[in-house]
Each structure stands twice: as C-alpha cells, then as structure tokens.
A = this chain, B = another copy of it.
Amino acid sequence: MTAAYDVAGIGNAIVDVIAPATDAFLAEHQLAKGSMMLVDAEQSAALYAAMAAGVEASGGSAGNTVAGVGSFGGRAAYIGKVADDQLGRVFAHDMRANGVRFDTPPLVGSAATGVSMINVTPDGQRTMCTHLGAANQLAEADVEPSVIEAAALTYLEGYLFDPPATRAAFEKAAALAHGAGRRVAITLSDSFVVERHREALLAFLGRVDVVFANEAELTALFETGFDAALAAVRGRCALAAVTRSEKGSVLVTADAVHVVPAAPVAQVVDTTGAGDQYAAGVLFGLARGLPLPECGRLGSLAAAEVISHFGPRPLASLKDLATSSGYRLAA
C-alpha cells in the first residue's frame, strides 16, 4: 500500500527558549558545551532566571525533523505530548502550519509543556537544559496505529529513552510499523543519553532499520573508536547515517560506505537542529526512494540551512533550496 505519510515522528514535544550566552555562563552553571541535560522544575526556574533575554520557538528533536520533512514538501505526522497551555498551543500551531499532522491529545494535569533552555555561545554551539514537563507523559495509547501504519518510515527520538514510560510507546510503534511492512528509524540523540541507556539502546537497534548518530554518540554506544564503531553498527542495522559536523556524513550499509560532504555555510550562527534537519533530508530521500548519496546530500543541504540562523527549524523552504540545487521533488 502506498504510504500516506513519508515520515511519522515520535518525540519529546518541546518549546525551545533560545538565548545568547558566554562560555563563562556555561562554566558558572556547570553546563557541558554541546550537551543536553535534563533538569527538574526547580533547576529549570533557576537557570531561566539567570539566562539572557531570548526567543521562543517550537522545537523537540523529532518535531524539528518532521517540520523539515514538511518543508521539503513531504507528508509528515507527529506524535508527542504537550500540555493544554499557551506553549502547548504554540507547538501545535507550528506543527500544523508546517503541514504536519499532529493530533496527540494534550495532557490534562499539572505538568506544563516541556521547555528546552538553549544557550548559544558565540561559536554557534548550543547547550541545552530540558525540563520535560508534559513530554514525559507520552503514553503507549498515544501511538495511533493508523498513523504509524501509513508512514513509509517511523522515526523515533532517542531522548524518549529517558522517560521510563515512553519506551513502551517505542516498542508499540516499531511493532506496528514492521507489521505494516514499513521501516523504523531512530536517532541516538545525545552521547549522555547513550551512556544512560546503552544496553536498552543496543537491544532496541535489533528492531530498527535505520540509525542516525553523530560521531560522539556512535563511539559512546560501542565504547570504541570511530572506525570500529562504524564496523559494529553495520552488523546491527540495514543503514547507519553518521554525521561528522563540518566533515559531512557517512551512510553505511552492509556492503557500501557513502561519504557525503557538508554543504557550504557562509556563517554558522546556531547549530541547534543541525542533526534534526540532516535526518529530515535523509528520511525524506529514503521515503521517496532516492539513492543513498542523494539522501545524504539532502540532509547536508537541510543542515546547512538551519545552522545559518538562530532557531531549530528551517526558515527557508527546503523544497525550494533543493530545487535550486537541481533536485526535482515530486509533491
């Protein structure tokens, strides 16, 4: 059956609070540059009080990715939990305005919509402190079978390994997708996530067709060097797409290695969302049946767009950018 959706994403529904910060600010608050740290309500309030004035924008890793798929002109759906509050309505609006189907019912309860405080240093690196709030309470019941079964690829966000309850949602989604003859993709999300959940992630890779990781995450997962980690992942997943910052990416299957360069960027302003948009390009390409090197190049193109400005999602139409780079993308 033809897929109604190119990609269905499942992730932590998060609104980003993005502000400029100095290296001294990171040091003072004991934040490891480039990482994502989970914080409770009290830590969240204290850090927010100390942060510079910022802007708010819908984020969440898989949320950014499906927004990117929408920007490529793809058909996407999203499953994630917001609260019934102002930021939750902002998140839902932005999802739908990007053409993404989003109808997970908002949480009724005391938790607010999750926020990620993103401190961006002058080198463009982002350091995130996330208070999951309602995102934490995504339930198995929120995984709507008709959405997963209709998506060419279901894309799972590794961050969801942190809330204990959401892992059941992953298992359900993977079973539904494979039951319908679809593919399952996952991103490892963050090297600290990998450290916290190494065994569970390794086990889960057995039910995954495509894995996304950056160098740090991949080497953390296999506790070895880059080349050995690449060899290890080949035995576990049909496809691994590994990003290497300015060195581009590597797409690895059992019998091929495709090295894809990064796309040029005039100035790196804010790396928030780089990996998410790379995944958007690759997933969109896979859903449309493009050759792997082409999938990687769409990923590079989308990543280059998002790091050239503040904010986690594309501001320009990725479809237009791809078209002007010579791609002909069907609707």
Chain A interface (Cβ < 8 Å from any Cβ of B): 17, 19-20, 48-49, 51-58, 67, 85-87, 90, 93-95, 97-98, 112-113, 310-311, 313, 315
Complex partner residue of A53 from B51, B53, B67, B87, CB under 8 angstroms:
B67
Contact present for A313 and B53 (CB under 8 Å):
yes
Q: A55 vs B309: C-alpha distance in the bound complex, in angstroms?
A: 13
Interface CB pairs A-B, < 8 A, 11? A48-B93, A53-B93, A53-B94, A53-B95, A53-B97, A53-B98, A53-B313, A54-B97, A55-B55, A85-B86, A310-B310
Contact present for A56 and B53 (CB under 8 Å):
no
Q: A85 vs B67: C-alpha distance in the bound complex, in angstroms?
A: 27
Chain B residues with Cβ below 8 Å from A52 are 97
Contact present for A90 and B56 (CB under 8 Å):
yes
Q: A146 vs B238: C-alpha distance in the bound complex, in angstroms?
A: 69
Complex partner residue of A56 from B48, B57, B98, CB under 8 angstroms:
B57
Give the nearest-CB partner of A85 in chain B. Answer: B86
Chain B residues with Cβ below 8 Å from A94 are 53-54
Complex partner residue of A58 from B48, B51, B53, CB under 8 angstroms:
B53
Chain B residues with Cβ below 8 Å from A87 are 86
A296 CB to closest chain B CB (Å) equals 26
Q: A86 vs B93: C-alpha distance in the bound complex, in angstroms?
A: 16
Give the nearest-CB partner of A45 in chain B. Answer: B89
Question: Counting chain B CB atoms within 10 Å of each CB, which of A52, A95, A113 scores highest?
Answer: A52
Contact present for A311 and B55 (CB under 8 Å):
yes
Question: Counting chain B CB atoms within 10 Å of each CB, which of A52, A56, A67, A112 scores highest?
Answer: A56
Q: A58 vs B94: C-alpha distance in the bound complex, in angstroms?
A: 18
A210 CB to closest chain B CB (Å) equals 26
Give the nearest-CB partner of A88 in chain B. Answer: B86
Chain B residues with Cβ below 8 Å from A58 are 53
Chain B residues with Cβ below 8 Å from A51 are 93, 97
Give the nearest-CB partner of A112 in chain B. Answer: B86
The 5 A-B pairs at the shortest CB distance, nearest first, are namely A53-B94, A56-B56, A53-B97, A86-B86, A55-B57
Chain B residues with Cβ below 8 Å from A313 are 53
Give the nearest-CB partner of A309 in chain B. Answer: B310
Q: A143 vs B93: C-alpha distance in the bound complex, in angstroms?
A: 36
Q: A315 vs B311: C-alpha distance in the bound complex, in angstroms?
A: 13
Chain B residues with Cβ below 8 Å from A93 are 48-49, 51, 53
Q: A311 vs B20: C-alpha distance in the bound complex, in angstroms?
A: 14
Q: A85 vs B171: C-alpha distance in the bound complex, in angstroms?
A: 36
Q: A51 vs B90: C-alpha distance in the bound complex, in angstroms?
A: 11
Chain B residues with Cβ below 8 Å from A56 are 55-57, 90
Chain B residues with Cβ below 8 Å from A86 are 85-87, 112-113
